Amino acid sequence: MSQLLPIYYQIKQHIKTGIVHKELGPGEKIPSENQLADHFKVTRVTVRQAIQLLVQEGLLVKRQGNGTFVTANEHLIDSLSYESAGFIDENFYDVQKPETKSVEIHTVEAPKFVNDKLELDESDGKVVELKRVRCLKSNYFNYIINYLPLEIGARLAQEDLYKKSLMSILEKEMGIEFTEAFQTIEAAFASPEVAQKLEIPSGSPMLAVVKTMYTRKRKPVALSQILYRGDLFKYIARFRKVKRKKGHIWVRSSL
């Protein structure tokens, strides 16, 4: 388990992924709270929190005395095929298990904006540039460019990036502990290079995400540029009305 998100939320996402990918079929009974707690090495309370979120979303149904079942509503499940729980979650964890189709790793002269974001000394000169194309259900989904300091990027193996997420490699295999991230999201258009990689017309609408990852000492060590196809990416948020002294306000709650 990562420290970046609450454990109950990570368990919820794990179960949700199994439902979306039909590893848990519509109407199928899921393991008991005890079994899930043993599997994830957590308490039943933590598992119950995860299950309750999925019940609220309609993906799980509790039947008194019988257990908890995946919804029989296949339309609801299929509608989540291209859903990401949120930009930051999708970038940290491959929530919907995108498939990496191509990986390029190069050592390049660091552009000025990369030097600025990673707070590098301009005399350092070079960084490792990692480019990947990923798919969801055989559709080209996003194009990712990562920049890493040379001493970190030089340790990456191209073949590993087809099977594992970059975050997993950096955290679990290199022992880098991330504690903060700064992210911007804006509209963009596909450049000729991106359009060719994603097989879409040049100038197609995109969602551009730029994220800088920081370690405990607030040292930036990873910069990502992620371009999502505007016709395939969907961001879903839930809001609830909360009473305050001067009236009611709408606040965003976790999905």
pLDDT at 37 over 60: yes
DSSP per-residue string spanning 147-206? EEEHHHHTT--GGGGGTS-HHHIIIIIT---EEEEEEEEEEEE--HHHHHHHTS-TT-EE
Q: Which residues contact 58 (CB under 8 A, 6 or more apart)?
A: 71, 73, 76
Name the residue ranges covered by the structural domains of the chain.
7-80, 87-235
pLDDT at 86 over 60: no
pLDDT-based confidence at residue 75 (cuts at 50, 70, 90): confident
Whether pTM exceeds 0.85 = no
pLDDT at 106 over 80: yes
pLDDT at 254 over 50: no
How far apart CA 114 and CA 153 sit, in angstroms, is 14
Helix (H, G, I), strand (E, B) or coil at 6: coil
Architecture of domain 7-80: Orthogonal Bundle (1.10)
Strand partners, 155: none
pLDDT at 53 over 60: yes
Q: Which of 44-53, 69-78, 177-186, 242-251 has the lowest mean pLDDT?
A: 242-251
pLDDT at 237 over 80: no
pLDDT score for 90? 46
pLDDT score for 83? 42
pLDDT at 97 over 70: no
The CATH number assigned to the domain with range 87-235 reads: 3.40.1410.10
How far apart CA 57 and CA 15 sit, in angstroms, is 13
Q: Which of 101-110, 130-139, 206-215, 227-236 has the lowest mean pLDDT?
A: 227-236
Nearest to 32 by CA among 63, 67, 71: 67
- For 206, the token pair is 């995109």
pLDDT score for 221? 93
